[in-house]
Amino acid sequence: MTFNSYEFLLLFLPIFIIGFNWIKRVGRKKGKAQMLVDLWIVLGSLCFYGLFGMQNLGIILISLCLNACTAIPMAFMRDSRVRLHFGQKEIAPVHIWMAVGVITNLVLLLFFKLWGAFLPIAISFYTFNQISYIVDLGRGEIAEFSLLDYLSYILFFPKLLQGPLMGYGDYRQQVEAACEKSFDAEVVLRGLYLFSLGLFKKVIMADTLGKAVDYGYENLLGLGSIEAVLTAVFYSFQLYFDFSGYCDMASGVCMMMGLELPLNFNSPYKAVSIVDFWKRWHITLTKFFTKYLYIPLGGNRRGAGRMYLNFMIVFLLSGFWHGTGWNFIIWGAMHGVLFVVTMALGKNAHKDANQRKVVSWTGRNRNPERDGDRSAYFVVIRGISLRNLLGKLFTFIYVTAAWVFFRAENAGQAIGLFRQIFVGGIRKIGTGMSSIFQLDELWYVIKVTPLMRFGFVWELCLWIFLVGSVVMVFFCKNAQEKARERKIGLWTTLVTAFLLLWCIVSFGGVSTFLYMNF
């Protein structure tokens, strides 16, 4: 059961939200709101995850047991003054247990990653949450161990499948704050509006684009240059709509409960450099690697050379985390190399640069003292920076090229797509790709317009999707900004109902979320 399913939207979600608010209200009267809310979250999340199959449920329960058996002794010995001596080094027993816990989680993750026969749903994400909990407990960032609180944190279903990754301390603050809040219909509607935006991004945008991407990769040798370029660009949009759509839905569910998940996508394709991109894309994963890998490796404390090496290690391991094929390693290396080069060229390369303005020539209001004999002058177009514009264009092209390796089944297939871009030839887009975008909803609108008489109408739906994607990605505010700023009223209610109805009608052809495969 995923967010884009009848069972979740029409059955599980209403029951869970109603039950959550009722239990919270009853719990406040008895002074046990947090305990009852955590218990409801654990039971609801186990039901949610259990519907993916008993095999998946069994593995996550094993993971929970192993980590609980590590956390319990850590909690008891954390304040102990006993030290173990290894040569000239003194190590606290709690740190040994912490290392055992981290290694156990990594071994379990690597076993399923490398085995290949079966990859449990969401194992990468809940393993990272387990590691985060064990390390924070060992460092003393978690005051005390509570089995119920721990289970609630790991199993919390909105973030279980694909994140966002969230620290235990932040999660507990959100739960405690939610327990003090009364039911607010406007907050629930705002959360449902955000959920509907995410659902639209997944069901209508990502899944439609995904079919075109699948067609492109399955018919590489028959692609023209334009179709090959579109295949690469469509995947960039598909992955963003799919992953950010999930995060929007997860945040929407949490908003209905009175909780707030951390922002995971902040309009990443508006980035002016690769450094800026990684401050906007999968933000919580970047923070996780920074706290638990980059800083322990030494961060930037040991000179520039070591800092750049640490960056490369992080990006290569990020590629390996996504998959064990060479295509994922190449993807990580591409990002790592450009990241290091950007950092080396200037610490401020990732910041907005407003010094160089886009200008246009005009003959109006000439200033002889400033312009001399010139018959025109520069007009500054406010808010537009040439450096930013070129930076965004280059970053998007580079990231899209890296996504080709990320999407391909192997490095050879990725190279094959690049080959078609250069040797496929300029020709009309085939009906095999353009027909994918002829959704019934769009087709009915086009049929009642004069557009039907033109020959390009068969490709019109494709270009509508492309232009729509460009506008949404490069020019519009992201969904979470819209949800927080929008005035809740009749119009918002109608938009929410329309989007939900459109998506529900389209559920028949939806697919699973892309990041559930990692």
* Final residue in a domain of this structure, among 128, 159, 183: 183
pLDDT at position 452: 65
Whether 366 maps to a domain, the answer reads: no
The encoded tokens of residue 19 equal 């039950």
pLDDT digits (tens, 9 = 90+) for 199-229: 999 999 999 999 999 999 999 999 999 999 9
pLDDT digits (tens, 9 = 90+) for 288-345: 999 999 999 998 888 899 999 999 999 999 999 888 889 999 999 999 999 999 999 8
* Residues whose CB falls within 8 Å of the CB of residue 51, separated by 6 or more in sequence, listed in order: 1, 7
Asked if the model's pLDDT at residue 256 lies above 50, the reply is yes
412 and 497, same domain (yes or no): yes
Residue that wins the pLDDT comparison between 425 and 324 = 425
Asked if the model's pLDDT at residue 368 lies above 50, the reply is no
Q: Buried b vs exposed e over 13-39: b needs ≥16 C-beta within 10 Å?
A: beebbeebbebbeebbeeeebbbbbbb
Can you list the pairs that 301-308 forms with residues at least 24 positions away whose Cβ atoms lie under 8 Å?
A: 304/344, 307/343, 308/340, 308/343, 308/344
Q: How many CB atoms lie within 10 A of CB 129?
A: 25
Q: What is the mean pLDDT of residues 401-406?
A: 97
Asked if the model's pLDDT at residue 503 lies above 50, the reply is yes
Among 136-140, 142-146, 329-333, 456-460, the range scoring the smallest mean pLDDT is 456-460
Whether 369 maps to a domain, the answer reads: no
Please answer whether residues 194 and 263 qualify as being in contact, where contact means their C-beta atoms are separated by less than 8 angstroms.
no
The encoded tokens of residue 337 equal 């190399």
11 and 113, same domain (yes or no): yes
The encoded tokens of residue 260 equal 């707030």
Q: How confident is the model at residue 197 (pLDDT cuts 50, 70, 90)?
A: very high
Asked if the model's pLDDT at residue 487 lies above 90, the reply is no
Rounded percentage of the chain residues whose pLDDT exceeds 70: 87
Among 266-275, 353-362, 411-420, the range scoring the smallest mean pLDDT is 353-362
Look up tokens 């697919």; give the residue.
511
pLDDT at position 85: 62
213 and 347, same domain (yes or no): no
The encoded tokens of residue 467 equal 């232009």
* Final residue in a domain of this structure, among 320, 351, 382: 351
Amino acid letter at 428?
K
The C-alpha atoms of residue 465 and residue 475 are separated, in whole angstroms, by 15
Domain limits for position 446: 184-270+403-518
Look up tokens 């085939």; give the residue.
430
Q: How confident is the model at residue 517 (pLDDT cuts 50, 70, 90)?
A: low
- State whether the Cα torsion 248-254-255-259 is positive or negative: negative
Asked if the model's pLDDT at residue 81 lies above 80, the reply is no
245 and 329, same domain (yes or no): no
pLDDT digits (tens, 9 = 90+) for 44-62: 999 999 999 999 999 999 9
Question: Alpha helices, DSSP H only, in 33-122?
Answer: 33-50, 54-77, 93-115
The C-alpha atoms of residue 312 and residue 324 are separated, in whole angstroms, by 17
Look up tokens 């990020």; give the residue.
318
Asked if the model's pLDDT at residue 153 lies above 50, the reply is yes
Half-sphere exposure of 340 (CA within 13 A, CB side): 19
Is the bond preceding residue 164 a cis peptide, omega within 30 degrees?
A: yes
194 and 173, same domain (yes or no): no
Amino acid letter at 111?
F
Please answer whether residues 260 and 174 qualify as being in contact, where contact means their C-beta atoms are separated by less than 8 angstroms.
yes
The C-alpha atoms of residue 200 and residue 497 are separated, in whole angstroms, by 12
pLDDT at position 387: 84
Asked if the model's pLDDT at residue 385 lies above 80, the reply is no
Among 19-28, 110-119, 320-329, 491-500, the range scoring the smallest mean pLDDT is 110-119
45 and 166, same domain (yes or no): yes
Whether 396 maps to a domain, the answer reads: no
19 and 121, same domain (yes or no): yes
Asked if the model's pLDDT at residue 172 lies above 70, the reply is yes
Please answer whether residues 497 and 197 qualify as being in contact, where contact means their C-beta atoms are separated by less than 8 angstroms.
no
| Dihedral over alpha carbons 381, 473, 337, 514 (to 10 degrees) | 180
The C-alpha atoms of residue 8 and residue 504 are separated, in whole angstroms, by 11
Averaged pLDDT score across all residues of the chain: 87
The pTM of the full predicted model, rounded to 2 decimals, is 0.89
Strand partners, 385: 357
The encoded tokens of residue 364 equal 């109006």
Q: What is the mean pLDDT of residues 389-415?
A: 96
pLDDT at position 31: 82
The encoded tokens of residue 506 equal 């389209």
Asked if the model's pLDDT at residue 9 lies above 80, the reply is yes
83: left (phi over 0), alpha (psi -120 to 50) or beta: beta
Q: How confident is the model at residue 447 (pLDDT cuts 50, 70, 90)?
A: confident
Q: Shortest CA distance to 217 belongs to which of 437, 404, 425, 463?
A: 404
Q: How confident is the model at residue 362 (pLDDT cuts 50, 70, 90)?
A: very low
Asked if the model's pLDDT at residue 363 lies above 50, the reply is no
Work out how many domains the chain is built from and give that number: 3
* Final residue in a domain of this structure, among 148, 183, 218: 183
Integer distance in angstroms from the first to the last C-alpha of the chain? 17
pLDDT at position 430: 86
Whether 376 maps to a domain, the answer reads: no
Whether 357 maps to a domain, the answer reads: no
pLDDT at position 371: 47
27 and 146, same domain (yes or no): yes
Is the bond preceding residue 158 a cis peptide, omega within 30 degrees?
A: no
pLDDT at position 475: 93
290 and 254, same domain (yes or no): no
pLDDT at position 327: 94
pLDDT at position 303: 87
Residue that wins the pLDDT comparison between 279 and 488 = 279
Asked if the model's pLDDT at residue 19 lies above 60, the reply is yes
140 and 34, same domain (yes or no): yes
156 and 222, same domain (yes or no): no
435 and 481, same domain (yes or no): yes
Whether 383 maps to a domain, the answer reads: no
Among 151-160, 216-225, 297-306, 391-400, the range scoring the smallest mean pLDDT is 297-306
pLDDT at position 83: 65
Helix 207-218 × helix 457-474 angle, to 10°: 120
pLDDT at position 410: 94
Whether 110 maps to a domain, the answer reads: yes
Q: What is the mean pLDDT of residues 76-101?
A: 77
Asked if the model's pLDDT at residue 506 lies above 90, the reply is no
pLDDT at position 372: 46
Whether 35 maps to a domain, the answer reads: yes
The C-alpha atoms of residue 3 and residue 160 are separated, in whole angstroms, by 12
Q: What is the mean pLDDT of residues 94-117?
A: 90
Q: What is the mean pLDDT of residues 184-209?
A: 94
Rg over alpha carbons for the chain, rounded to the nearest Å, is 26
Q: What is the mean pLDDT of residues 413-426?
A: 94
pLDDT at position 87: 63
